[in-house]
Amino acid sequence: RGLRAENRVLRGLVLGASEEVFSFNSPIMREMENMAVRVARTNSTVLITGESGTGKGVVARLIHQKSLRADGPFIPVNCGAIPENLVESEFFGHTRGSFTGADKARKGLFQEADGGTIFLDEIGELPLALQVKLLHVIEHKEVRPVGSEQTRSVDVRIVAATNRDLREMVIQGKFREDLFFRLSVFHIHMPPLRERRQDISALIEFLLRRGMLRNGGNSERKILLGSGVGELLVNYAWPGNVREMENVLDRALILSDGVRITLADLPPQITKAAQQPRQDSIQSSGTLREQVRKYEADIILRAIEESGGDRRAAAQKLDIGLSSLYRKLEEFEEQKLAPEAQYGRHETGQD
């Protein structure tokens, strides 16, 4: 244990301090982080699911860094990027002359990950024939290189990820059920950004700091957001999730004057989305008072939705008292501006 700690210190001196870690605000992501840290202490296989760009690879690396294997290798593999005829050789290695072009023996990715973690991203793209062999590795902790009659023991922790519905693939016969059960011993789901809007503002600041540092700037100097930019970024749907946000902010940093990001620095898909009025929040009929009340109801109901139904969290987010929030909900119900079944008087279990 002392040697591991010493290795981490030496690695920090050589490579520099580790990157700043983002702190989540949303309860759903704090729970996810807690689950990742808890499973990291074990040798259990982990399946991470979620849409593209939600940060599944970041969670896989977190699991490795918090595990007893942290000083071992972390080998990320994109299963969908390897040609089908080369997957077995890439995974398990090959002997010299085992196929055309194999002029020397080569270790596979599983042997390279020995003593550490292998991260199998896009596991749903793995051919059925390789799924059988991967199941063998999980069950027997050994690999057999292509062209060899000898097996080699490997001590590897497997973390897999996918944006596909593996249960549906099992039903369709495209993914082995036994492998699915082996991989999903511990399942972590990454929710999309639109379901955890409490993280968006802080995530924007975090990615801007990291982007400035990566581009040679001073991460201590805070870049400003011009009029309307912050609101636009927070309200955008982010279909590409964190990956899309990072690309948008990196582009904006390049186009900006280094002091302030303006609307002109944002890509068309974001500015155009802002020009399309929300049908549920903008009403063209009724008196001014009625329209204002409808708009107020939309803001409050959206805050409750983004807080996962937790009214206390919604009240804190809106900077109003909990009793004020309940009073307004009662008024909305009376004026038929809110569905009673969903936003009635009863508190959630989190309250």
- Dihedral pair phi/psi, residue 284, rounded to 5°: -100, -5
**pTM metric for this prediction:** 0.71
User: Alpha-carbon distance 170 to 45, whole Å?
Assistant: 19
Band (5; pLDDT cuts 50, 70, 90): very low
User: Alpha-carbon distance 351 to 349, whole Å?
Assistant: 6
Sign for the CA dihedral angle at 315, 319, 320, 322 comes to positive
Tokens linked to 30 = 């704090």
Which range has the top average pLDDT, 72-81, 293-302, 310-319? 72-81
Using one digit for the tens of pLDDT, what is the confidence trace for 49-67? 999 999 999 999 999 999 9
- Per DSSP, 252 falls in state H
Sign for the CA dihedral angle at 78, 109, 7, 37 comes to positive
Task: Report helix, strand or coil for 94.
Answer: strand
User: Alpha-carbon distance 182 to 12, whole Å?
Assistant: 35
Q: Name residues whose C-beta falls within 8 Å of residue 325's C-beta, 6 or more positions apart in sequence.
A: 300, 311, 314, 315, 318
Per-residue model confidence (pLDDT) at position 188 = 97
- Interhelix angle 200-214/241-255, rounded to 10 degrees, is 50
- Interhelix angle 322-334/288-306, rounded to 10 degrees, is 120
Using one digit for the tens of pLDDT, what is the confidence trace for 183-221? 999 999 999 998 898 899 999 999 999 888 887 766 567
Using one digit for the tens of pLDDT, what is the confidence trace for 245-267? 999 999 999 999 888 999 999 99
Using one digit for the tens of pLDDT, what is the confidence trace for 219-249? 567 888 888 898 889 889 999 999 999 999 9
User: Alpha-carbon distance 325 to 348, whole Å?
Assistant: 14
- Per DSSP, 146 falls in state B
Q: For 106-155, what is the HEC assignment?
A: ECCHHHHCCCCEEEEECHHHCCHHHHHHHHHHHHHCEECCECCCCCEECC
Per-residue model confidence (pLDDT) at position 106 = 84
Tokens linked to 203 = 């995530």
Which H helix or E strand runs over 119? strand 117-121
Per-residue model confidence (pLDDT) at position 185 = 95
Looking at 190-240, list the stretches that DSSP marks H as alpha helix, in order from N- to C-terminal side: 200-214, 229-235
Beta carbons of 179 and 134 less than 8 angstroms apart:
yes
What is the average per-residue pLDDT within 314-321?
A: 81
Q: Which of 29, 31, 70, 15 is nearest to 206 (CA)?
A: 29
- Interhelix angle 322-334/311-318, rounded to 10 degrees, is 100
User: Alpha-carbon distance 128 to 136, whole Å?
Assistant: 13
Q: Which of 261, 258, 257 is nearest to 249 (CA)?
A: 261
Q: Indicate whether 35 pLDDT > 90.
A: yes
Task: Report helix, strand or coil for 282.
Answer: coil
Percent of the chain at pLDDT > 70 equals 83
Using one digit for the tens of pLDDT, what is the confidence trace for 122-167? 999 999 999 999 999 999 999 988 888 889 999 999 999 999 999 9
Beta carbons of 61 and 48 less than 8 angstroms apart:
no
Beta carbons of 249 and 208 less than 8 angstroms apart:
yes
Domains and CATH numbers, the chain: 2-191 (3.40.50.300), 195-275 (1.10.8.60), 288-343 (1.10.10)
Per-residue model confidence (pLDDT) at position 71 = 95
